Amino acid sequence: MVGVMALIVVLSVMSGFHEDLRKKILGVNAHVVVMNFRGGIADYKGVIDKLRSIDEVEAASPFVLGQVMISKADAAHGVYLRGVDPAYEGSTTTISSHMKVGRLEALSKKGGLPGVIIGNELAAILNAYIGDIVNIVSPVGEIGPMGMLPRVRQFRVVGIFEIGMYEYDANLILTSLKAAQEFFKTGGSVTGVELRIKDIYRASEIRKIVPKVLGPAYFARDWMQMNRNLFSALKLEKFAMFIILTLIVVVASFNIVSTLIMNVIEKQREIAILKAMGATNRGIMGIFIFQGLIIGVLGTVLGIIGGYILCYLIGTYEIIKLPADVYYLSHLPVKTKAMDFVVVSISAVLISLASTVYPAYQAAKLNPVEPLRYE
């Protein structure tokens, strides 16, 4: 029971990590990103129209991306500046639903300094809040008499978002597409186009279709490709934890072996009587296998029930908190999957069944003459 419960909880936590990371990554990034080998995409509106003609594509939006440094007073931090169109960004990512203060549409306001939306972790680093003015510095600027001069521009904080993943909350800022184009001097071109598709697991198929639709000068990257190392590591870790924790069930199965061996020793006379009355070796063996199987099935059922209840409590009440700057998550996530329960149940029952073979065999080969000799 304890072994099965431990397996259920650990596998559910690993699935929860996988699910939570996937949601947060896809909340900030699109399912597919289309870019050009030449650098920027000038006719991005025409490109978007062509991409929307693909059946699986639900939405598309342009973006401009560059690495900059943001500063306020004596605090500074390196971040990625992403220029987005608020009218389209909400259809490709879920950043608008993660706004802690302000709204994504505030980037569209004209007049005065251009607006910028920052993450809550970055806001804490800079001591910045709504209405504060920050300086954004790009290391790539114009060449002057003293060499390359950095480009500096002031922005006003109009919103704060909280994804719950430190990497994004501290290292990503958003501004309007026009402001980013002016800051990076890209003219009317954009860095790429983000796509949102109906089935996220068909992203690799769409990635292969894009060059056929737009031409060989264009290429695409899907979310699985961009985060392959992370998700592969999680999958491998989940498998490793399953193997390691299965050893708990294996160790527990030795208790079944010892219980049945002691039972066989204690019931030698009864076994001899049954065999004298005509019971076959297979019948005697079946009795002890069935007894061990009942113990294994009962422990498995109780372990599954206990594991599910524990997963429910951890997931619902967020009992275990985590430092977001270390684990990227603010609490221990749990995701119960039917397949995990099925695999653990089958594994536990098979291990329990295997542990009954030796004691049952010992009982079956017992010579009925010896126990009855002195009766």
Instruction: Give 216-271 pLDDT, tens digit per residue.
Output: 999 999 998 888 887 888 888 888 888 888 888 888 888 889 988 998 888 888 99
Question: Which percentage of the chain shows pLDDT scores above 70?
Answer: 96
- Under 8 Å between Cβ of 11 and 303: no
Confidence band (pLDDT; 50, 70, 90) for 305? very high
Measured distance CA(213)–CA(305) in Å, rounded: 51
The answer to whether residue 336 scores a pLDDT higher than 80 is yes
The answer to whether residue 372 scores a pLDDT higher than 80 is no
Would you state the pLDDT for residue 285?
A: 93
More confident residue, 150 or 6: 6
Would you state the pLDDT for residue 367?
A: 85
Helix axes 268-276, 228-266, angle to 10 degrees: 80
Region 83-90: what's the mean pLDDT?
89
59-68, 80-89, 207-216, 329-338: least confident range: 329-338
Backbone angles phi, psi at 59, to 5 degrees: -155, 160
Which residues have C-beta within 8 Å of that of residue 367, sequence separation ≥ 6?
272
Region 159-169: what's the mean pLDDT?
88
What pTM, to 2 d.p., does this model score?
0.73
- Under 8 Å between Cβ of 308 and 6: no
Measured distance CA(30)–CA(43) in Å, rounded: 20
Would you state the pLDDT for residue 298?
A: 95
- Under 8 Å between Cβ of 24 and 164: yes
Q: What is the mean pLDDT of the chain?
A: 89
The answer to whether residue 326 scores a pLDDT higher than 80 is no
Would you state the pLDDT for residue 374?
A: 66
Closest by alpha carbon to 256, among 294, 202, 286? 294
The answer to whether residue 142 scores a pLDDT higher than 80 is no
Confidence band (pLDDT; 50, 70, 90) for 49? very high
Would you state the pLDDT for residue 63?
A: 95
